[in-house]
Amino acid sequence: MDILFQGLTQPEKDMIFNSLAQGNNRPLTVFPEWAEFLTASLLPVSQLMGIGEYSVDEGFDRLQAEALTILGLDG
């Protein structure tokens, strides 16, 4: 946990792992635009979360919005 999520605070790390342990998660489905999402969204947002530019909630909210845009489901 500490190595994988170095940029997060302990409460943020605990929240992620507690959520996973309680089953409050969904499997990640790879979709046709996955490569675009990975390079344009997931990696950059993960890095920004790692340096504290985004909280976990802000980062995941942004990723969800960007995935919906890429998939054409944003409105």
What is the reported pTM? 0.56
Is 33:71 a contact under the CB 8 Å cutoff?
yes
Report pLDDT digits (tens) over 39-72.
Answer: 888 889 988 888 889 888 898 899 989 888 888 8
Exposed e or buried b per residue across 42-60, where buried means at least 16 C-beta atoms within 10 angstroms of its C-beta: beebeeebeeeebebeebe
Is 20:61 a contact under the CB 8 Å cutoff?
no
Q: Sign of torsion, CA 7 1 4 71? A: negative
